[in-house]
Amino acid sequence: MAHILIMAASTGKNLDLASSFHHTVLSQGNTAEILDLCRLDLPMYTPETEKEHSDLSLVHNVMEQILASDALIVCAPEYNGSMPPVLNNLVAWLSVQSKDFRMLFNRRKIGLATVSGGGGQHVIMNMRMQFSYLGANVLGRSVVINKTKQLNQLSLDTMAKEVLN
């Protein structure tokens, strides 16, 4: 039995997609948890805010959740052709918490998914670039839901299996 951490980088449809992945992972006999990045309510990262915030327990909890998982699935909408600020902000906070923050992502399999009002391909490309840079093994296939592509349960089933193989 494996454990997948499913990150939702927005509320609404991407959080619903994370819930669909959660159900899929459980139905395959594995465990999963959803991390709603919006509920973390982290302040915007700057070197100044890092100095001002001595209690970084939220960031450390996320680090522990990542390390306790066997794989990640990230559900994020496209924001102006890129990643949502909440996801980028979390990566920024994680990057300053240890001398080797890449240990969180190095060789970890990550599946990427989006529900976007536009095409959704730009956020997938941006996340692929970001997580690959951090050393993750990003799946070649992603789940994209938009105005012309509906949710396909077979795609969810396949990604849930692939992140664990």
Q: What is the pLDDT of residues 39-73, one digit of tens each?
A: 998 999 999 999 888 788 999 999 999 999 999 99
pLDDT at position 99: 79
Q: What is the pTM of this model?
A: 0.95
* Mean pLDDT of all residues belonging to the chain: 94
pLDDT lower than 70: segments of the chain: none
- CATH number for 3-162 (one of 3.30.70.1400, 3.40.50.2300, 3.90.230.10, 3.40.50.360): it is 3.40.50.360
Separation of alpha carbons 156 and 140, rounded Å: 14
The domain locations on the chain are 3-162
